[in-house]
Amino acid sequence: MITELAEKARPSVVSIFPVQGPGRSKEFPGERLPNAPGSGSGVIIDPEGHIVTNNHVVGDANEVEVRLSDKTKLIAQVIGKDPDTDLAVLKVTGERPLPYARFGDSNSVKVGQWVLAVGNPFGLDRTVTLGVVSGVGRDNINLSRYENFIQTDASINPGNSGGPLFNLRGEIIGINTAIINFAQGIGFAIPANMAKQVIQQLLIKGKVVRGWLGVGIQPVTADLAKKFGVSEGEGVLVNEVFENDPAAAAGIKPGDIITKIDGTSIDTPNKLSRLIAALPPGAIAKIEIVRDGKHLLLDVALTERRDHAIVASLPQSRSELKLGIDVQDLTAALAEKFKLKDSKGVLITKVDAGSLAQAEGLREGDLIKEVNRAEVSSVNEFTAAVAKIKRGETILLRVLRESRAFYVVLKPSDR
């Protein structure tokens, strides 16, 4: 069964190398060292000769050398690339029909099912490894902007990048993209359904166009969950809403917790980014939010994504100490010095070493905009707001750093 599948699957897999430059050897024009920089794998996906691989295998090249299973060498044109998912589409023209593989449905992939990875590790052509799916929906690996990886223990080695992950029906369920070097036997593949969507856009438009919401977001930690009245990890917290963008037009506000998009639960900033990016500009997204304990459903008309980073990452809450900050009213000169886009707020002028504020990542030049959801625009208002906080209670601050906002929870132990 496995041997038949391997025989059927291998011919569609190709080796990819950078095109040799003018200084290449005349005697051995196609010879390369195994696993030379930029070498990798790919898979032919249709009779027209389209090949899918990783963007990082192609790099900045407009054309690459492709080696087929019968050792034929062809030059492939790079049709389109998408660094945000690390995918690229190439095209070769063969003199005869080329073997190709079909995509399967990656949404039906289950943990524990058998899979086959095919690629060219260390320059060894079309190596087949068998393994199981050990996880799905992995999205905090920091390999690309939009992540939803299938995790597998099928051996994926350098040179396998861009090669296919097959199910036992011989369908492509993923494109192998990376290994964790320090954890042997853990590999990641871009799911087929995400790849299909990207490939379709690259073939039609030559680029990928994505939906844009226009918010800054951060994870809902245990401390933030308590302050906003939701469960830990339920939704993501909106810490900023960009003017004239879809979220602002639909009435989304800082402090809202986005819990669902089109009925799909959101539990990480990455998942929100990925779901919004998968929608086309002009789509109406049904976004469920929690505001002051109430559930609201908003229709948001998405626009095209511009290149903003929209995830604010913050250190988790740790120790209980005094606040450990000095503050003063914001002046125009200070706003300019710290590149702040706001003219009102309470500026942190000093953060004590070893203090709670330092442990939570606050620093000199941060502008405090809110204390426990109440706006503060002067030191007097800040002092009054802090004075209302009872012993043992936590303090929720909304902070602006240069042009980015975020929330942070402080746990003072005494005052």
39, 41, 82, 86: which one is catalytic?
86
Concatenated DSSP letters for 80-139?
EEETTTTEEEEE---SSPPP---B--GGG--TT-EEEEEE-GGG-TTEEEEEEEEEEEE-
The answer to whether 82 is a known catalytic residue is no
Q: Does domain 325-410 have CATH number 2.30.42.10?
A: yes
Strand partners, 151: 135, 188
Q: What is the pTM of this model?
A: 0.65
Instruction: Give CA–CA dist 48/41, Å, rounded.
Output: 18
Q: Tell me the residue length of the chain.
A: 415
Say how many C-beta atoms besides its own lie within 10 A of residue 232's C-beta. 13
The answer to whether 108 is a known catalytic residue is no
Q: Which two tokens stand for residue 365?
A: 């030049």
| Cβ(139)–Cβ(270) below 8 Å | yes
Instruction: Give CA–CA dist 398/373, Å, rounded.
Output: 8
11 secondary structure, DSSP code: G
> Looking at domain 211-304, which CATH architecture does it have?
Roll (2.30)
Domain boundaries, the chain: 1-208, 211-304, 325-410
Q: What's the Cα-to-Cα distance from 318 to each of 314, 356, 357, 408, rounded to whole Å?
A: 12, 8, 10, 12
Fold for 1-208, please state it.
Answer: Thrombin, subunit H (2.40.10)
Q: Which two tokens stand for residue 349?
A: 């002028």
Q: Of 43, 90, 3, 407, which is closest to residue 240 (Cα–Cα)?
A: 407
Question: What integer pLDDT is reported at residue 342 of this predicted model?
Answer: 80
144, 161, 317, 355: which one is catalytic?
161
Phi then psi for residue 201, to 5 deg, are -70, -40
Q: Which two tokens stand for residue 255?
A: 């402090």
111: CB partners within 8 A, 6+ apart: 132, 133, 134, 135, 136
Per-residue confidence of the chain (415 residues) as pLDDT tens digits? 778 887 888 889 998 888 765 434 333 333 433 334 457 889 999 988 999 999 988 888 888 999 888 888 899 999 899 988 889 999 998 778 889 999 999 988 899 889 988 876 545 566 788 888 888 877 665 566 676 788 887 766 666 788 899 998 889 999 988 665 555 667 889 999 999 989 998 988 888 888 888 888 888 888 888 888 888 878 999 988 888 889 999 999 999 999 999 999 988 888 888 888 888 888 899 999 999 888 999 999 998 876 543 333 333 333 223 678 888 888 887 888 888 878 788 899 888 887 778 888 898 899 999 988 888 888 888 888 887 777 677 888 999 988 888 999 887 655 4
Q: CA triplet 38, 278, 203: central angle to 5 degrees?
A: 55
Q: Which two tokens stand for residue 199?
A: 């490939």
- State which amino acid sits at residue 409: V
| Cβ(173)–Cβ(115) below 8 Å | yes
Q: Of 117, 115, 114, which is closest to residue 126 (Cα–Cα)?
A: 117
**Long-range contacts of the stretch 315-321 (C-beta < 8 A, 24+):** 315/359, 315/360, 315/361, 316/221, 317/221, 317/222, 317/223, 317/360, 317/409, 317/411, 318/359, 318/360, 319/356, 319/359, 320/356, 320/411, 320/412, 320/413, 321/354, 321/355, 321/356, 321/359, 321/412, 321/413
37 secondary structure, DSSP code: T
Instruction: Give CA–CA dist 239/90, Å, rounded.
Output: 40
41, 56, 84, 256: which one is catalytic?
56
Instruction: Give CA–CA dist 199/191, Å, rounded.
Output: 12
Q: Which two tokens stand for residue 193?
A: 């359904």
The answer to whether 56 is a known catalytic residue is yes
Q: What's the Cα-to-Cα distance from 100 to each of 42, 68, 127, 301, 373, rounded to whole Å?
A: 11, 11, 17, 39, 57
| Cβ(264)–Cβ(201) below 8 Å | no
Instruction: Give CA–CA dist 226/282, Å, rounded.
Output: 35
Say how many C-beta atoms besides its own lie within 10 A of residue 28's C-beta. 9
Q: Is 397 helix (H, G, I), strand (E, B) or coil?
A: strand
Same topology between domain 1-208 and domain 211-304: no
